[in-house]
Structures are given as structure tokens and as C-alpha cells.
Structure 1
Amino acid sequence: MKNLLVALAAVFSLSAHAADTLTVAATAVPHAEILEFVKPQLAQQGVDLQVKVFTDYVQPNVQVAEKRLDANFFQHQPYLSEFNAGKGTDLVAVTGVHLEPLGAYSTKYKSLSELPGGATVVIPNDATNGGRALLLLQAAGLIKLKNPTDILATTKDIAENPKDLKIRELEAATLPRVLTQVDLALINTNYALQAKLDPSKDALVIEGKNSPYVNILVARPDNKDAPAMQKLAEALHSPELKQFILDKYKGAVVPAF
């Protein structure tokens, strides 16, 4: 009888452990690295976090929607919204974690208020980052858009441009190379770092925590409130993780909590 009870206890223990396993898809950097950092903390809380690294942006959502994975961590809300609309899925954000920010840089001026009338400003020419750049210019008070929340705005959507800024669109990767030739350049952080710019010190203005491009933990409506998922969400907002992000990525990734 005693052996039977021991065996049953072991079965229940294994079942409980299996119920607390959380399988999360992520891209390698920084998402999987962030998840691996919080993995020991979750283990102490009885959650076995399994990180599955993907190199594409489609399968992580597909497999979560099909219940082959519990969650994913690689995207921002604008991408998720577009994916849901195009694929007919209903994936939801659990929590925001970090931002890989866009900043405005200048070698000629130390503040945006110094920009002269008719200044030349360069922004990325792809739809996503071009819209981000215009939203950042709007947040800085330099322009106003017809739709102030349009993340896909183009230069044709500028309603007010009081300084008559000459806004040109160039390939994102080339922007650091033309920085000295223009008055202001809006540069993605990865390219800024490659150009030896320090986003936390050199950017005259940079996207903040309220940016729509905050990277999010994503799940399904049926499991977003599950105890294990909420423990992961809490771990992704811990002071220890914030310090890890600040120390490891040095401005290329910014905590959004």
C-alpha cells in the first residue's frame, strides 16, 4: 500500500510539473537571451520554461495559434495586428518587455531647437521605419501628421511642417554614413551602434516606453491568464531583468517597464 501511494505521488508530481511547462518561441537576439535569463527564476517558481529559437516571423505565430506552442516573444503590436488581420488569428499581447528604439542624431546641432528653417532631415525609406521616424518627429514637435497615430505614415501625410524641413528617404543602413552631410538623421539603434553612436547619450530624441514598437510576449486568449504565463510576465518585468538588459545591450535594447 505504501509503495502504491509513493507511486501515485510521483505520478501526480510529474503531472503537476508537466502542467507548468511553458514553451515559448523566440528569435535568437535579444529575445531568446532574455528568456534564458529569467529561466532560473521561473524554475524556482515551478515553471519549466522551454525556449524554442526561430529564424522567421511567421511560424512562431502560426504554432502558437495552432496550440503547438504556448507563447512567443519576437514581435511588436503593429506586426501582431497585421498578422492577425491577414491570417484570421486572434493572438493577444500578454505584456510589453523592451524596445529597440529609433533615435534622431546630428553632428551639427546639440538640440532639436537649434535646427534651422529648411534643415535637411533623412529618414528610413521602408514603410515601417519611415512611419516610426515621422511619428518621432511629430512627438518632438517638429511636424504634425494628418493622422497623428498612423504608424504607416509617409511624407505625403505631413499636415504641418513649420520649419519647412526637407525630409528625404534613404535606405536605413546608409543613414549613419550621411549623418555628417545632413542636419538630422533618424537612425535605427542597431545601425547607430555600428556607427559608434551611443543612443543614450548622442540621440537628440529617441523613442520612449510608449512607442507602439515595444516588443511583446504573445499568447492566445485561452492561455494568456494562465498562472505559468503570468509568472513569466512578472519575471519579464523584474528589476534583475531590467539591469541585465541595460548592462548587456547598452542602449540597443531599452526596457519598456
Structure 2
Amino acid sequence: MKKSKLFTGIIAAATILTLVACGNKAKAAASNKEGEKERTYTIGVVSDTAKLTWDEVAKVVEKDGIKIKLKQFSDYNTPNDALADGSIDLNAFQHIAFMENYNKEKKQDLVSIGYTFVSPLGLYSNKIKDYKDIKNGDKIAIPNDVTNGGRALQLLDAIQVIKLKDDAPKSPSIKDIDKYIKDVKIEELDASQTAATLPDVTAAVINTNYAVDSGLKPKKDAIYLDTDNLSKVGDIYKNIIAVKAENKDNPDFAKIVKAYQTDKTIEISDKESDGNDIPAWK
């Protein structure tokens, strides 16, 4: 009888230990499974408006086990370097022309996986109310990078401040100016600094994100927006979500793009950019 009770006790204890062990393994398995399910990606952005948009996208993809972290940059030069060296996984700040020029200069292979918006490039001034009032001797600030600078020159050509050569490339430079219709002085600055120069120049060509971040409202404050003639704004100026070529087929990235290209994103953009940005995926 005693042996029987002892044997039963041993079996019961072994059963309890087995159940505890299985329970712990189940918890560990569940934990591992959950860990495998959640994937974290860092997206590089430039403007405050972009951060608000991506915060909303992050909520949408969370249900798919995707966690988005944002890294905000203050200029246009470093987000692509960060993407190229693997510090971030995606970025969303540039248009196709800018990315293609970066790839050429840095010998990189960044690619687009989806459109975001077409942002207007605007001419702003604290000193004149109409671009037709630009006169000889005036100073005009433009971005100094090849693509935004080229687009700025196309803007000045459109309002007949300069005339570009007939064979000027898609992203022209100062050397592609055929003649100055108005004898102005063009000052090339980092795109992030053009808004700050408004007190010192007659007018400045400013990207929308920097204009909005500095308190300007493009539709209200710009004396000219190049998107007023949208047909003249080429596809190369459509903004994109960029990744390294080796990651372009990542299924998680496709989900991120889908979550971005929604009416909710348009709603946020309309509110924050005063309806200036035009969805490029439509």
C-alpha cells in the first residue's frame, strides 16, 4: 500500500513537472512566434508634416506585425546616405530626379517603390507682391542641389526672369541659362536655408516642406507656384518612397506603400500643407 502511494506520488509529481515544462515551452514558443511576427523598419523623413503622415501609417501596418520608427532629418543630403549605409530602411522625402542624381553622384542603387505627392516649388518674397515686379539687380535665392536647383531655374524660366537654352537637360544648371531677361543675381543655397534668406533677398524659391515648416502657406504666401502649370512639372518631380534595390521586393514594404497611399494620407496632407500637395499615385 505504501509502495503504491509512493509510486502514485512520483507519477503525479512527474506529471506536474511535465505540465509546467510544457507550459513554459508553450510560452517560449508563443514569445518567439510573436518576436518573429513583429518586424521593425526605420523610415527617414524631413518635414514635420511627413512625420504626422507616417505616424498614421504606422498605426495601420501595426496589425500586420510591422513596427515603423521615424528618423527625422533637417536637410536633403543625409537621408540617402543613411539609406545607402543601412542606418535606415526606407526614406520618403525626395522626387525621382533627386534620387537619380544621388545614385549617379554616389554610385548607389536606390529605387522607388511607390509615389507619394507632387509638392509645389514656390517663389516667395517679403519685398514684392507680384513676380512681375522683379527687376534688374534683384537677388533671388534658389536651392543649390542639381535637381531642386534645376526645377527652380525652370520656374524662373516660366515667369520670364531667365530663358533656358532650348537643349537644356531635364534638370538644368546655371550654365544652361541662355540669357537673363531680368538682370538678376541668382544665389544658390542649401534648400533648407532658402526660407531663412527672405529678409535678405528680393525673392526665394522654396520647397513646400521648408516653406510650411517656416510658417509660410504656399497657396496664400507664394507669389508663384510651379504646380499652377502642373503639365509643365515632369514625372521626375513626383515624390517617392525609396529603398535600396536589393530590398525592393520586400513584401512588408509593399504593405507600407499600400498603407500610405490612402485617402487618410491625403486628408492629413491637405490639412497640414493647406491642400498644396497633390497625390502622385492617383
TM-score using structure 2 length: 0.65
* Counterpart in the other structure of 1:169: 186
Give the counterpart of 2:177 among 158, 161, 175: 158
Q: For the structure 1 residues 249 and 221, does the alpha-carbon distance in structure 2 shift closer, same or farther, using more than 3 Å as the test? A: same
Contact 1:75–1:216 (Cα < 8 Å) also in 2 = yes
Q: Distance in 1 between matches of 2:240 and 2:211?
A: 23
Q: Which residue of structure 2 lines up, in the alignment, with residue 254 of structure 1?
A: 277
Give the Cα separation in 1 of the matches to 2:123 and 2:46: 27
User: How far apart, in 1, do the equivalents of 2:253 and 2:50 lie?
Assistant: 16
Contact 1:138–1:145 under 8 Å retained in 2: yes
* 1:242 aligns to 2:266 (yes or no): yes
Change in CA separation of 1:196 and 1:75 when aligned onto 2, cut-off 3 Å: closer
1:26 corresponds in structure 2 to: 45
Identity %: 29
CA offset at residue 137 of structure 1? Answer: 3.2
Q: Does 1:14 align with 2:32?
A: no
Alignment of 1:175-190 (within 5 A): 175=198, 179=202, 185-188=203-206, 189=208
Letter in 2 for 1:166: D
Structure number with larger C-alpha Rg: 2
Q: CA deviation at 1:135?
A: 0.9
1:77 offset after TM fit, Å? 3.4
- Give the alignment partner of residue 247 of structure 2, picking from 199, 223, 236: 223
Residues 166, 194 of structure 1: CA spacing in aligned structure 2 closer, same or farther, 3 A cutoff? Answer: farther
State the Cα distance separating 1:191 from its structure 2 match. 7.4
Please name the residue that 2:140 is paired with: 123
- For 1:7 and 1:194, locate their aligned partners in 2 and report how far apart those are by CA, in whole Å: 47
Counterpart residue type for residue 271 of structure 2: D
In the TM superposition, residue 7 of structure 1 has moved relative to its aligned partner by: 5.2
Residue by residue, what CA displacement relative to the aligned partner does 1:58-86 show, whole Å, maximum 9, x if unpaired? 66434433445321234343443333233
* Aligned counterparts, 1:1-257, within 5 A: 3=23, 8=29, 10-15=31-36, 17-18=37-38, 20-27=39-46, 29-55=48-74, 60-99=79-118, 101-104=120-123, 107=128, 109=130, 115=132, 119-120=135-136, 122-124=139-141, 126-128=143-145, 130-139=149-158, 144-146=163-165, 147-154=167-174, 156-159=175-178, 164-170=181-187, 172=194, 173-175=196-198, 179=202, 185-188=203-206, 189=208, 198-208=217-227, 210=233, 212-250=236-274, 254-257=277-280
In 2: Cα distance, 1:159 partner to 1:228 partner: 48
8 A Cα contact 2:153 2:172, kept in partner: no
Corresponding pairs, count: 241
CA contact (8 A) 1:124 1:130 kept: no
Q: Evaluate the alpha carbon distance shift between residue 54 and residue 133 of structure 1 in structure 2; reply closer, same or farther with a 3 A threshold.
A: closer
SS of 2:92's partner is strand
Distance (Å, rounded) in 1 between the aligned partners of 2:179 and 2:105: 33
Task: Give the 3-state SS of the residue equivalent to 1:222 in structure 2.
Answer: helix
- 167-176 vs 215-224, greater mean Cα deviation: 167-176
**Helix, strand or coil for the counterpart of 2:153?**
helix
Greater helix content: 2
Secondary structure of 1:250 counterpart: coil
Which residue does 2:13 correspond to in 1?
none
Q: Give the CA deviation at 1:40.
A: 0.7
